[in-house]
């Protein structure tokens, strides 16, 4: 082979290596871009929260979409959800509804409340054995978000329906509430941290003449 042919072959080989190197660099750059883009997408999805409005409609919102007023409303609805589960059930739904309610409250606080309200008063056994029905009426909820954690007050009435007749009592309480991880068990992403019933007196109904 002549010298000119060897030089031409060498140049072609170098050119091929350059082309291959450029292709490799382009592929690496594309992979890096796709990785970064996918990470950003996952981060954006993770930042979204499920919001349930007063009509029980669910929608997604990013953290920056929330205003303080939005969060206050969510806190109030969270506490209402807790009341509808923890203080309203029958013998067949007692275990399931109470357990769902406890997911909305800090663990030790919920355990203490459960023992006080249903174990010490023997309600847990009575409601299942006699299939009692308990209803709850929420009158008013107020949450102050100017402090951290937010604190609030709720006014409600619980009615025990049994063969011997109905018994109605106040179920008014103060509480503190804070943000928590959003989950199917806790879709509003809040947790009741303290809960103090300050009035559970029996409501005496006036007899009609």
- When mean pLDDT is compared over 6-20, 31-45, 119-133, the highest value belongs to 119-133
Confidence of residue 208 (pLDDT cuts 50, 70, 90): low
* H-type alpha helices, the chain: 3-46, 68-86, 94-102, 107-114, 123-129
Q: What is the dihedral of CA 142, 80, 98, 123, to 10 degrees?
A: 70
User: Which phi and psi angles does 73 have, rounded to 5°?
Assistant: -65, -40
Q: Which residue has the higher pLDDT, 155 or 39?
A: 155
Tokens of 203: 């409501």
* Rg of the Cα atoms in the chain: 31
Distance CA(17)–CA(23), nearest Å, equals 10
Confidence of residue 9 (pLDDT cuts 50, 70, 90): very low
Domains annotated for the chain, with CATH where assigned, are 67-199 (3.10.450.230)
Q: What is the pLDDT of residues 162-184, one digit of tens each?
A: 888 899 999 999 999 999 999 99
Distance CA(155)–CA(192), nearest Å, equals 16
Confidence of residue 128 (pLDDT cuts 50, 70, 90): confident
Q: Which residue has the higher pLDDT, 67 or 11?
A: 67
pLDDT of residue 71: 94
The whole-number average pLDDT for the span 61-68 is: 60
pLDDT of residue 36: 61
Distance CA(32)–CA(171), nearest Å, equals 58
Q: pTM for the complete prediction?
A: 0.67
CA atoms within 13 A on the CB side of 209: 0
Least confident interval from 14-18, 77-81, 173-177: 14-18
* Mean confidence (pLDDT) of the chain: 80
pLDDT of residue 164: 85
Confidence of residue 24 (pLDDT cuts 50, 70, 90): low
Confidence of residue 47 (pLDDT cuts 50, 70, 90): very low
The whole-number average pLDDT for the span 124-153 is: 93
pLDDT of residue 14: 59
Confidence of residue 113 (pLDDT cuts 50, 70, 90): very high
């Amino acid at each position: 082979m002549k010298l000119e042919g060897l030089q031409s072959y060498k140049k072609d080989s170098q050119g091929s290596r350059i082309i291959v190197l450029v292709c490799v660099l382009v592929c690496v750059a594309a992979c890096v871009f796709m990785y970064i883009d996918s990470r950003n997408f996952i981060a954006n999805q993770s930042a979204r929260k499920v919001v349930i409005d007063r009509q029980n409609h669910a929608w997604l919102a990013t953290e920056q979409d929330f205003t303080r007023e939005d969060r206050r409303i969510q806190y109030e609805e969270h506490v209402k959800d807790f009341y509808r589960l923890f203080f309203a059930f029958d013998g067949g739904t007692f275990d399931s509804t109470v357990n769902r309610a406890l997911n909305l409250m800090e663990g030790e606080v919920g355990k203490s409340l459960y023992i006080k309200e249903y174990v010490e008063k023997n309600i847990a056994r009575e409601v299942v054995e006699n299939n009692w029905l308990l209803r709850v009426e929420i009158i008013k909820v107020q949450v102050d978000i100017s402090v951290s954690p937010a604190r609030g007050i709720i006014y409600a009435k619980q009615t025990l329906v049994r063969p011997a007749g109905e018994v109605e009592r106040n179920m008014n309480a103060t509480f503190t509430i804070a943000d928590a991880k959003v989950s199917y068990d806790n879709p509003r992403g809040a947790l009741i941290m303290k809960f103090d019933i300050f009035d559970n007196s029996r409501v005496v109904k006036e007899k009609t003449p």
